[in-house]
Structures are given as C-alpha cells and as structure tokens.
Structure 1
C-alpha cells in the first residue's frame, strides 16, 4: 500500500483526475448493481411503495452530482499531495480506531447539516431529494448540486482536521457508500429482530431513511440513530414499524421542520 500511495501522490493532475474519475465510476456502478440486486431479491420486504417510473431529470441530477463528487475527490487529492491532508500509513489498532471516529464525527456533522437544510430558507435546495418519496437505489444520487457540494465540503473539512490512516479512511468510504445505498433501497435487508438488539438498533437502516422520505420531520441521521434518539427527532413508531411501510400518509415535503 505504501508503494500505491507514493504512486498516487506523484501522479500528474491530469492522470490523477482520470484515475479518480474511473474510481468514482466503479464505485457508482458497484453501488447500483448491489442496490438493484437487493431490491429484486428482497421485493417482499418493501418499506415504501414501489418507485414511480424513472424520470429524465433523475438521470441528469445524478450525472451532475457525479461530476461534483469527482471534483471533490480531485480537491482531496490535491490537498493531500500538498500536505494539507495527512493520510497515515499505519495498519494497527489506531488505524482501525479511525473507522468509528470518522463514522461518528461524520454522522453528527451530516445530521446537523441535514437539519439545517430542512430550515425554511434552505429547504428549496433539499426539496428535490424529497420529491422522490418512494426511493430507489439511484435516489441516493438525486440531489441538488449545491447539496452534493455541501456534503463533499463537509468531508473535506473533516479529513483536513483529522489525520486518518489510509485503512480507516478507505473503510469509512466503503461504509459511507453502503449506508447511503441501503437507505434508498425501499426494501429492508435486516430481519425483524434487528431493532430489538441493543447495539444493532442504533445503526441506520432502510426502514429508518424510508420513513424520513415519508415524514420530513423525523429521522435525520445517516449511519446511526444515535443523534435522532439524543435530540428527539427519531420517529416515535420507528421500532414498532421496523421492516414495514410507514402507516401514515406521506408528509407534505413543501414545508420544512
């Protein structure tokens, strides 16, 4: 891995941009493939109604969001190359400790940003994502470009302030993609007892985020339910309705919380 890091750091900007484009494309393709496999194989475990027919603008916003995410990764590479971002090379216990640190810090930061974009003067930016209240795997990427940029800049700030190991950072990025995809499956991959196990019940699920798409007043977290439980924004019926469609009419996404 040290040789790979040396190679990546010494790339020319053009080659680095091309390589990062390919890496982002592979990540997107893998996420889509696994997401559609899950929705097909778990079709009997829907937690939201089947999505409406795919719209052209969903594809357009996905393409624009892909470009924004690609530019964010180029910025991260540039900052790393010039020493502003530090990526440690150790692989011991400290490297593995980076994983829960990054997950919890980013989870809190994204929870806060998510609450902010639900404020009345910013909700028009976020409304696009809530227009699709019957999520499909692609819905993860259907965001206003400003929102995509905001979450990307948040990640840049965290890695600027926290010198993570390559092991911790790459593991976190995998968790981030997996958690985001799971939240937009529209089906629940976890068994019914999941929400009754003390530790597991704190992890984000497809049910959790599908409920947010239906009720804009609750469930703002991403990887965990910790901050929603702590700040009182978890849907009160989440545990009882785990694995089932939300038993209330969809909230009006034209207003915020």
Structure 2
C-alpha cells in the first residue's frame, strides 16, 4: 500500500489523505452518536462554528499526514513490518510515550499565556459532544501533529502498532467528549480501566481545568498530583 502511494502525484496524495481524514472523522462521530443513543442521552446538534472548525482541523491533519508520508518517502521516517510481539511492545511504548508527551504539552499550555490565546478555544465547550474532539485552535492542531511526527522520527515503530495506536487515539478522543460516562463504576475500579482516561476522567478536565491533563491514562496525573476522580 505504501509503495503504491509512493508512485502517486502530490495532488492525488492530498486527495487520498483528505478523504482518509474525513472518513475517520465521520466514523468517529457515528461511533460517538451511537454510544449517546444507546445510553439514552439527547443528542445536541453541532453549531456551525463547530462544523467549520472540524473541517479546518481535517485539512490541517491532511497536511500533517502528507508531511509524514513525505518524511517516510525520503527515509527520514522508517517503519518495520514484521508480525510478531514487537507489535504489542511498540503499541504500548507509543501509547505511553504519546500520553506522557501530550500530558506535558497540555499541562504547560494550561499554565502559560498560550492557554488564553489558543487552548481556551477548546474549553469553550464545557459540556462537549463528539465533534468537539476536532474543535481545536489551528495552532494546537499543528502542535499535536508536530509532536506525533517527532515521535515517529525518534524511533522505528512497527507499522501495525502505529495503526493500532491511531485507532486507539480516535477511540479515546471520541469517548472523552461524550459528556456521559457509559462505563459502570464497578468496572472503572477494575484493571485496566482504573488506570485509563475514561470519559468521566476527561470530562472532569472540561469542567475543572486544573486537573486531569492526561489523554489515554491517569498515570501522569496521579504521579504529578493533578488527578481528580
């Protein structure tokens, strides 16, 4: 697949990557709306601003995808393709490293002037809906995308682990912006859920911006004393 993409023109790549990002967004939103419907929560329609920013985020993510593929094509970014235990190891490594990197980035934004200029835009939505995963200030979208590319440049991750991580990233992003907690309390106390960033964990951050800066886990918040149940 990657070899085939390498034969295409830049225009064709832009079209394919844009279609890919839009498809992922559509599937993510459908998944989120399905969970809300199954839990009987009224579905709040997205505003015109949310829809437009979501589309802008997709365009920026397309540029990031194109940049990543260009780096891969120039051999600055390399992947492995073996189907073995390295997939699980690389997934866990990528999952935890990105969680730590985004925790630090997120914490620093909240404790600097950048918050008022950039990140406060996302926190305008204290009671988020699934589309708000994609409602970010353009500078923040570029920053997170750059962080992702730096991580891939730093280590030769397994291709299938990268795909698994990207899937998990969308899953956690959507569930964190449901505005409800579909996981029962007794389940959240069990392993591994008691260490993960459940929907209520991230929702708490939207209503209390001084706590719960993690994305996929609550490990770093517990370690650095910013965790709030």
Higher relative contact order (CA 8 A, sep 6+): 1
The answer for unaligned runs of 5 or more in structure 1 is 45-49, 239-257
Are the equivalent residues in 1 in contact too, given 2:18–2:58 (CA < 8 A)?
A: no
Paired with 1:132 and 1:11, the residues of 2 have a C-alpha distance of 40
- The runs of at least 4 aligned residues of structure 1 exceeding 3 Å deviation read 50-54
Q: Structure 1 or 2: larger helix share?
A: 2
Matched, 1:97 2:94: no
- Aligned match of 1:88: 80
Q: Give the one of 219, 234, 241 matched to 2:212.
A: 219
Q: Which runs of 5+ in 2 are unaligned?
A: none
Write the mapping of 1:235-250 to structure 2, written as runs, cut at 5 A: 235=228, 238=229
Q: Deviations over 1:55-112 (max 9, x none)?
A: 2211221111111111100100110011011011111111221100000000000000
Alignment CA distance shift 1:29-1:53 (3 Å):
closer
**Does the 8 Å contact 1:87/1:164 carry over to 2?**
yes
RMSD between superposed Cα atoms in Å: 1.4
Q: Distance in 1 between matches of 2:214 and 2:70?
A: 30
TM value normalised by structure 1? 0.85
Separation (CA, whole Å) in 2 of partners of 1:145 and 1:184: 19
Secondary structure at the residue paired with 1:11? coil
Write the distance in 1 (CA, Å) between the matches of 2:14 and 2:52: 21
Evaluate the alpha carbon distance shift between residue 163 and residue 85 of structure 1 in structure 2; reply closer, same or farther with a 3 A threshold.
same
Give the CA deviation at 1:6.
Answer: 1.7
Q: Give the number of aligned pairs.
A: 228
In the aligned structure 1, how far is the partner of 2:80 from the partner of 2:14? Answer: 22
